[in-house]
């Protein structure tokens, strides 16, 4: 939690709830938001297996970077939809990278056995990636195109396999 105090939190506009006669977006609509932050952010961290991972090594792949921690209930809730998304896009050049912030290998291993998922997990022990990527909420997702450019983001829990999300991702292939 102390890492979160090191990041500037931008002001966020709130959305109004959708009414019957309204065409506006409701809180429940699963929509990735166009990214308007800094560009060319590096991400090079050790994996849970001790291997050095660099997002530049995933050229020509669409990447979903997911910043999360095991004690975050929305993070845990989102994982099954990430597993389903990975299955839906298994034949596409698509990769999910999870950045775990500040937890030990033992904590993550126990969590993976309990929740049952198999993503590449990068370890951000120092919180530097959180600072570099301006992560101010767990969980945070960033969608990169095949050229490594951040195209979309979403902060908070998301049903990642919802049709609008899958469609947005497929536009990047």
pLDDT digits (tens, 9 = 90+) for 121-173: 999 999 999 999 999 888 899 999 999 999 999 998 889 999 999 999 999 99
90 found inside a domain: yes
Q: What pLDDT is attached to residue 108?
A: 92
Residues 20-76 have pLDDT tens digits of 544 544 445 668 999 999 999 999 999 999 999 999 999 899 999 999 998 989 888
Q: What pLDDT is attached to residue 68?
A: 92
81 found inside a domain: yes
Task: Spell out a b/e string for 77-107, using b for 16 or more CB atoms within 10 Å of the CB, else e.
Answer: ebbebbbebbebbeeeebbbbbbbbebeeee
- Residue 39 belongs to a domain with what CATH number? 3.40.30.10
Which residue segment(s) compose the domain that 135 sits in? 30-170
């Amino acid at each position: 939690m102390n890492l979160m105090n090191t990041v500037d939190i931008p002001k966020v506009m709130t959305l109004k709830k959708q009414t019957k006669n309204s065409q506006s977006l409701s809180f429940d609509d699963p929509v990735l938001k166009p990214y308007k932050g800094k560009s060319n952010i590096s991400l090079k961290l050790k994996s849970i297996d001790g291997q050095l991972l660099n997002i530049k090594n995933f050229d020509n792949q669409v990447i979903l970077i997911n910043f999360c921690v095991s004690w975050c209930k929305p993070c845990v809730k989102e994982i099954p939809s990430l597993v389903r998304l990975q299955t839906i896009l298994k034949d596409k050049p698509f990769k999910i990278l999870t950045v775990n912030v500040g937890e030990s290998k033992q904590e993550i291993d126990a969590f993976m056995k309990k929740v049952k998922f198999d993503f590449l997990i990068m370890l951000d022990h120092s919180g530097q990636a959180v600072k570099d990527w301006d992560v101010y909420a767990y969980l945070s997702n960033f969608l990169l195109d095949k050229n490594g450019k951040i195209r979309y983001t979403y902060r908070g829990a998301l049903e990642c396999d919802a049709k609008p999300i899958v469609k947005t991702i497929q536009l990047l292939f």
